[in-house]
Amino acid sequence: MANRMADNKPAISVERIERCIYLIRGQKVMLDSDLADLYGVETKVLKRAVRRNRDRFPEDFMFQLNNQEVIRLRCQNGTSKTGRGGSRYLPYAFTEQGVAMLSGVLTSSRAIKVNVEIMRAFVRLRQVLATHRELARKLEELESHLRNHDEQIQTIFDAIRQLMTRPEPDRKKIGFHLKERRDIYMGWGKRKAKS
């Protein structure tokens, strides 16, 4: 019973693996030193195994970082500088396919378990990115609808304001008006004629 529980427990947490995945040259990659740490081997052992099987790692599976990329990573992560425990050689970056290919090169039981967890982390990361893209698309649609609704709502408010304003009441004008004057003058003339 205890052995079954141990077999089901992941060799390493997915969250720890996700922290080791970087976006370099537009690809999600893992560095050789992080992979070696996860597999429980030294970085030079991992690199030696890769060199022995170089034909399994084409450039779309693995590439070596340049100086600017290493500097950017150091700035982002606060890793040590050369001479203070850092690597003297430029690190290699492994794409998802390169990591999968490592499972054929490193055959220890720990490496196999860790590789399974790494593949799960890449899948989970793809799902998260797809969800974010979908949310961004839906948010854009909602903003578009709201813009249209805002214009329509503004028109409704303008109409309501017009209805709410009181019309000026018709007031009787004070003083003589031209029509009344005519009647008065006409009346005076008729009275004079009769008298």
Q: Say what the pLDDT of residue 18 is.
A: 81
> One-letter amino acid identity for 86?
G
Half-sphere exposure of residue 29: CA atoms within 13 angstroms, side-chain side: 23
| 179, part of any domain | no
| 193, part of any domain | no
86: helix, coil or strand? Answer: coil
- In this structure, the strands spanning 62-64 and 92-95 are antiparallel
- Count: domains in the chain: 1
Distance, CA of 79 to CA of 54 (rounded, Å): 28
| 74, part of any domain | yes
For 20, 150, 169, the CA distances from 164, given in Å and listed in that order, are 63, 21, 14
Distance, CA of 80 to CA of 70 (rounded, Å): 11
Domain residues for the domain of 127 are 2-137
Q: Model's pTM, two decimal places?
A: 0.56
| 194, part of any domain | no
| 100, part of any domain | yes
| 116, part of any domain | yes
Q: Say what the pLDDT of residue 185 is.
A: 55
Q: Say what the pLDDT of residue 89 is.
A: 81
Distance, CA of 74 to CA of 97 (rounded, Å): 25
Q: Say what the pLDDT of residue 122 is.
A: 82
- Torsion of Cα atoms, 76 then 78 then 79 then 82, to 10°: 100
| 149, part of any domain | no
For 58, 139, 156, 163, the CA distances from 151, given in Å and listed in that order, are 56, 19, 9, 19
Q: What is the token pair recorded at 129?
A: 């990115």
| 146, part of any domain | no
Cβ neighbors of 52 (< 8 A, separation 6 or more) are: 105
Q: Which residues of the chain have pLDDT under 70?
A: 1-11, 76-87, 167, 169, 173, 175-195
